Amino acid sequence: MLKPESTIGILGGGQLGRMLAMAAARLGLRCHIYSPEADSCAFDVADAVTVAAYDDEAALARFAEAVDVVTYEFENVPAQTAAVLAAHREVQPDPQVLAKTQDRLIEKQAIAALGIATAPFRPVDSAIEAFAAAAALGVPAVLKTRRLGYDGKGQRMIGSADEAAMAFAALGEVPCILEGFVRFEREVSVVAARGVDGTVACFDLTENEHRDHILRRSIVPATASAALEQEAQRIAERIATAFDYVGVLAVEMFAVRDGAGEILVVNEIAPRVHNSGHWTIDGATVSQFEQHIRAVAGWPLGQPVRHGRVEMLNLIGSEVNDAARWLTAPGACVHLYRKGEARPGRKMGHITRILPG
Amino acid sequence: MLKPESTIGILGGGQLGRMLAMAAARLGLRCHIYSPEADSCAFDVADAVTVAAYDDEAALARFAEAVDVVTYEFENVPAQTAAVLAAHREVQPDPQVLAKTQDRLIEKQAIAALGIATAPFRPVDSAIEAFAAAAALGVPAVLKTRRLGYDGKGQRMIGSADEAAMAFAALGEVPCILEGFVRFEREVSVVAARGVDGTVACFDLTENEHRDHILRRSIVPATASAALEQEAQRIAERIATAFDYVGVLAVEMFAVRDGAGEILVVNEIAPRVHNSGHWTIDGATVSQFEQHIRAVAGWPLGQPVRHGRVEMLNLIGSEVNDAARWLTAPGACVHLYRKGEARPGRKMGHITRILPG
Q: How confident is the model at residue A99 (pLDDT cuts 50, 70, 90)?
A: confident
Cβ neighbour number for residue A83 with a 10 Å cutoff: 13
Whole-number pLDDT of residue B152: 67
A211-223 burial, b if ≥16 CB within 10 A, otherwise e? eeebbebbbbebe
Chain B interface mutation, best of A327, A339, A341, highest count of B Cβ atoms under 10 Å:
A327
Cα–Cα distance measured from residue A189 to residue B348, given in angstroms and rounded to the nearest whole number:
37
Which chain B residues are Cβ-neighbours of A30 within 8 angstroms?
A: 44, 338
Interface list for B 33-52 with A (CB within 8 A): 43-47
H helical segments located in B75-213: 79-88, 95-101, 104-113, 127-137, 161-170
> How far is residue A221 CA from its own chain's centroid?
19
Q: Write the single-letter amino acid at A97.
A: V
Pairwise CB contact (< 8 Å): A333 & B47: no
Pairwise CB contact (< 8 Å): B331 & A285: yes
Cα–Cα distance measured from residue B91 to residue B88, given in angstroms and rounded to the nearest whole number:
9
Using DSSP's 3-state secondary structure scheme, residue A63 falls into helix
Pairwise CB contact (< 8 Å): A47 & B47: no
Whole-number pLDDT of residue B154: 86
Q: ipTM > 0.90?
A: yes
In 3D space, the residue among B210, B213, B350 whose CA is nearest the CA of residue B289 turns out to be B350
In 3D space, the residue among A99, A91, A40 whose CA is nearest the CA of residue A75 turns out to be A99
Report yes or no: B203 at the A interface, CB cutoff 8 Å: no
Examine residue B304 and say whether the peptide bond preceding it is cis (omega within 30 degrees of 0). no
Q: How confident is the model at residue A110 (pLDDT cuts 50, 70, 90)?
A: very high
Report yes or no: B338 at the A interface, CB cutoff 8 Å: yes
HSE on the CB side for B221, CA within 13 Å? 14
Interface list for A 257-286 with B (CB within 8 A): 282, 285-286
Please state, in angstroms and as integers, the Cα–Cα distance from residue A274 to each residue in A145, A281, A346, B210, following that order: 21, 12, 15, 41
Decide if pLDDT at A340 tops 80: yes
pLDDT tens digits for A118-177? 999 999 999 999 999 999 999 999 999 999 876 667 899 999 989 999 999 999 999 999
Decide if pLDDT at A204 tops 70: yes
Whole-number pLDDT of residue B153: 78
Which chain B residues are Cβ-neighbours of A324 within 8 angstroms?
A: 300
Which secondary-structure segment (H or E) carries B292?
helix B288-296
Cα–Cα distance measured from residue B284 to residue A17, given in angstroms and rounded to the nearest whole number:
24
Whole-number pLDDT of residue B196: 97
pLDDT tens digits for B109-121? 999 999 999 999 9
Which chain A residues are Cβ-neighbours of B28 within 8 angstroms?
A: 335-338, 349
Q: How confident is the model at residue A64 (pLDDT cuts 50, 70, 90)?
A: very high
Predicted model pTM: 0.96
Which chain B residues are Cβ-neighbours of A305 within 8 angstroms?
A: 330-331, 354
In 3D space, the residue among B223, A326, A1, B205 whose CA is nearest the CA of residue A348 turns out to be A326
Cα–Cα distance measured from residue B20 to residue A199, given in angstroms and rounded to the nearest whole number:
34
Size of interface A-B (CB pairs under 8 A): 125
Q: How many helices (H) and strands (E) does chain B have?
A: 11, 17
Domains annotated on chain A, with CATH:
7-91 (3.40.50.20), 120-180 (3.30.1490.20), 186-355 (3.30.470.20)
Cα–Cα distance measured from residue B181 to residue B118, given in angstroms and rounded to the nearest whole number:
11
pLDDT tens digits for A218-233? 999 999 999 999 999 9
Whole-number pLDDT of residue B151: 65
Report yes or no: B237 at the A interface, CB cutoff 8 Å: no
Whole-number pLDDT of residue B357: 67
Report yes or no: B330 at the A interface, CB cutoff 8 Å: yes
Is the distance from CB of B345 to CB of B212 less than 8 angstroms? yes
Cα–Cα distance measured from residue A342 to residue A325, given in angstroms and rounded to the nearest whole number:
17
Decide if pLDDT at A281 tops 80: yes
The CA distance from B104 to the nearest CA of chain A, in Å, is 34
Cα–Cα distance measured from residue B153 to residue B163, given in angstroms and rounded to the nearest whole number:
18
Report yes or no: A238 at the B interface, CB cutoff 8 Å: no
Which chain B residue is nearest to residue A306, measuring alpha carbons? B331
DSSP assignment letter at B284:
B
Is the distance from CB of B75 to CB of B270 less than 8 angstroms? yes
Whole-number pLDDT of residue A303: 94
Q: How confident is the model at residue A33 (pLDDT cuts 50, 70, 90)?
A: very high
Q: Write the single-letter amino acid at B257.
A: R
Whole-number pLDDT of residue A148: 83
> How far is residue B239 CA from its own chain's centroid?
14
> Which residues, given as ranges, of chain B have pLDDT below 70?
150-152, 357
Which chain A residues are Cβ-neighbours of B327 within 8 angstroms?
A: 294, 299-300, 302
